[in-house]
Amino acid sequence: MQRAIIHVDMDAFYAAIEQRDDPALRGKPVVVGELGRRSVVSTASYEARPYGVRSAMPTLEAKRLCPHAIFVPVRMARYREVSEQVFAVFGEVTPEIEGLSLDEAFLDVTASLRLFGDVETIGRYLKREIRARTGLDASVGMAHNKLLAKLASELSKPDGFLRVTPETAQAVLDPLPVGRMWTVGKVAEAALHRIGIRTVGELRGADPRRLAQALGNHAAQLQRLARGLDERPVESDVEEKSISAETTFETDLATFDQASAWLARLAERVGERVRAHDLAGRTVTVKLRKPPFETHTRQARVPAPTDATDTIYQTGRALLRDWWNAQERPRLRLIGIGLSGFGAEPQSVLFDADEGREKDVVADAINRRFGGGSLTRGAALKTRRSGSPDGGAS
């Protein structure tokens, strides 16, 4: 049976909440993120985007591009509250929900079709109910796999509603620039351009051997995606097998200090999520991708299950240093870190060895109250001045 997959992505979620809560902001360019030398844009309203303002941009740069923009502080607790309302709507149509962030999720509604009707009927219900309960717009993409469902929501934004069928998939995919394809970053895009491939259709029909010379082992997977083929399931298991975070960069990291700083920032995200789930793990994994698509992973076990950010970071940093020193010309286009091997040992045993846990708990409380990143480690501060995070936690 053909799967029915829906991708829901809230439109400019944080900024839309600010505009909803404060009517004086409606219709105006709103930037979520406080002005400051080390601050970055969390989200920009659609009124700010024509000026070039985008997520992860330094707020001072956003101010230069859009001098009349209104900057508001991050209110993460408020965004989580609204996110719970949105996900409650998802739960009314299917238990198969893969949350990607507070404002984005995949839903497998294959088993729900007999109860609710076709996938478009379910998609319309989601849009209508989210709007009724939150006052916010959601873009809904529908297809028979995750790749095309996500692409459908992206192509139809804002307030989008688009279904891609097996019959229409290539007509949608072929004209797109290759840079719109999932997993195609700036380096891969440049490599494809060098061999004359600029559209997804040209990628689909390219000689596999020529592609492999340009992209290495990743070429075959990219060509499958260009043909609209994606077998990834919607992963909705409640029990987490691993918690991780990763970031891809527009400009490759060229120094160990840069890479270490980003690893610290990602370790903070992982540690906060691990503690929020009341978990502790024994295995730290780092993911490192050299340009264009050569991916390496390294793992290490810690002596006792941990949820401490410092333990996760220092273990990952040692793995990163070993890898870095072994490279002739180290460069990184992606870096990630994760924790796995979760156990059910008594909490008092788990945390006795983690001297830094008390400060982690304080940092978590501050970040929940004032927004993620309000309090961060000194080791991560260099990330405020470089890089461009696009990935997330998984």
Q: Which residues define the annotated binding site?
A: 9, 103
393 burial via Cβ count (<10 Å: 0-12, 13-18, 19+): middle
Residue 177 and residue 203: Cα distance in Å, rounded?
10
Which of 101, 147, 91, 150 lies closest to 122 in space, CA to CA? 91
Instruction: Say if residues 130 and 122 touch (Cβ distance below 8 Å).
Output: no
Residue 200 and residue 392: Cα distance in Å, rounded?
25
Instruction: Say if residues 307 and 274 touch (Cβ distance below 8 Å).
Output: yes
Which of 252, 260, 245 lies closest to 315 in space, CA to CA? 260
- Locus of tokens 């990219």: 222
Largest CA distance in the chain: 60
- Please state, in angstroms and as integers, the Cα–Cα distance from residue 84 to each residue in 78, 89, 90, 133, 230, following that order: 10, 9, 10, 11, 29
Instruction: Say if residues 380 and 340 touch (Cβ distance below 8 Å).
Output: no
The pair of structure tokens assigned to 40 is 């970055």
Instruction: Say if residues 302 and 291 touch (Cβ distance below 8 Å).
Output: no
Instruction: Say if residues 385 and 37 touch (Cβ distance below 8 Å).
Output: no
Instruction: Say if residues 142 and 123 touch (Cβ distance below 8 Å).
Output: yes
Instruction: Name the 3-class secondary structure at 280.
Output: coil
Residues catalogued as catalytic: 104
The pair of structure tokens assigned to 84 is 């719970």
67 burial via Cβ count (<10 Å: 0-12, 13-18, 19+): exposed
- Locus of tokens 């873009």: 139
Binding-site members for Mg(2+) are: 9, 103
**Given its phi and psi angles, is residue 52 left (phi above 0), alpha (psi -120 to 50 degrees) or beta?**
left
- Cβ of 139: how many Cβ atoms within 10 Å? 22
Instruction: Name the 3-class secondary structure at 96.
Output: coil
